[in-house]
Amino acid sequence: MSLLPRFGTRPVSARIGVSGVVREWDGASRSGVNSAYLASVVRAGGVPLVLSPLMGAEAAAGALDGLDGLLLTGGEDVDPALYGAQPSRHLGTVSSERDRFELALLAAARERELPVLGICRGIQLVNVAFGGTLWQDLPSERRGILNHNPRTPRDARAHGIRVLEGTRTAAALGRLEFDANSFHHQAVRDLGRGLRAVAWAADGLVEAVEPEEGGWLVAVQWHPEEMTTQAGAPDSGLFRAFLAEADRGARSVRAEVPEHAVG
């Protein structure tokens, strides 16, 4: 009698690469990602795989082999040198290693037409990759009517968002207006070439972007991964739409593999 666990035969779901971070924690250097990102991918039916910037930009394209989608997560500020700006004295921590790795991941994903979902830093990185610029520090550079970094729980809805009808973002969320959580001090300033803004806060700050052409890409400024445990949350729709697109691509690729090639 075998003591090995028995596993089901359900087909493997879409594999999603999730960009990770490197942090000093509990006396050691560790690499990983907030579990909310991984849990949200799992809830939407996907298999999340963490991609550490320790791999280096040169390995980014190879890191996407066998994957069906890319999730760009939150974290450090994007280095202003990447968009031709001098650093503000309010600039937070930057990681050139992570910037280079994620820019290479994004370029490879776009070349392969893999679906991409960007969150918080993710929208900022996408905008910079397309040639755009960022507000380095909203409180000091763009005084608006909203506090985009309130001291509230991560799953607290902080302000309203208006979404453009007929966009992928609107279709995924299933509504044109809703309240989102918010904790960031950087944001899209000048929009990158080939991108269009598709959602805004009440003070006009860009909250979501999509490409004008090319493969599936949605990038948002808020943190939908923190909201997917809430019943009926529109944020869950972003992950479902992302995984649905990744599943379509996965089935198409795997259908091309000849039966005799499976050993």
pLDDT digits (tens, 9 = 90+) for 142-174: 987 889 999 899 999 999 999 999 999 999 999
- The pair of structure tokens assigned to 84 is 């031709």
* Residue 5 pLDDT class (50, 70, 90 cuts): low
Pair 112, 120: CB distance under 8 Å: no
What percent of the chain shows pLDDT beyond 90?
81
pLDDT band at 13; cut points 50, 70, 90: confident
Quickly state the pLDDT bin for 73 (edges 50, 70, 90): very high
| 241 sits in which H/E element | helix 235-255
In a domain, 220, yes or no: yes
What is this structure's pTM?
Answer: 0.91
Query: Residue 218 falls within a domain, yes or no?
Result: yes
| 262 pLDDT higher than 90 | no
pLDDT at 11 over 90: no
* Greater model confidence, 132 or 260: 132
Query: Pairing mode, if any, of strands 69-72 and 116-119?
Result: parallel
Q: Does residue 259 have a pLDDT over 80?
A: no
Length of the chain: 263
CATH code for the domain of 149:
3.40.50.880
Evaluate whether residue 1 is within a structural domain. Answer: no
Is 232 inside any structural domain? yes
Reported as half-sphere exposure (CB side, CA atoms, 13 A), residue 109 has a value of 30
Average pLDDT in the 105-124 region?
98
Mean confidence (pLDDT) of the chain: 92
Looking at residue 9, its pLDDT comes to: 47
260 part of the active site: no
The arithmetic mean of pLDDT across residues 99-104, rounded, is: 98
Work out how many domains the chain is built from and give that number: 1
Q: How is 64-122 classified by DSSP, letter by letter?
A: TTT--EEEE---SBPPGGGGT-PPPTT---B-HHHHHHHHHHHHHHHHTT--EEEETHH
> Which range marks the domain in which residue 60 is found?
15-23+30-256
What is the predicted pLDDT for the residue at 44? 96
Q: Which residue among 102, 207, 210, 225 is the active-site one? A: 225
**Is 212 annotated as catalytic?**
no
Residue 174 lies in a domain: yes
223 in catalytic set? yes
**Catalytic residue, candidates 184, 207, 223, 226:** 223
10 in a structural domain: no
Per-residue pLDDT, averaged over 171-178, amounts to: 97
Q: Is residue 8 part of a domain?
A: no
Q: Helix 96-111 vs helix 121-129: angle between axes, to the nearest 10 degrees?
A: 70
Question: Among 42-56, 66-80, 247-261, which stretch is predicted with the lowest mean pLDDT?
Answer: 247-261
Q: How far apart are CA 24 and CA 254, in angstroms?
A: 39
* pLDDT tops 60 at residue 106: yes
Residue 9 located in a structural domain: no
Query: What pLDDT score does 252 carry?
Result: 63
Determine which one of 120, 148, 184, 210 is catalytic: 120
What pLDDT does 27 receive?
A: 84
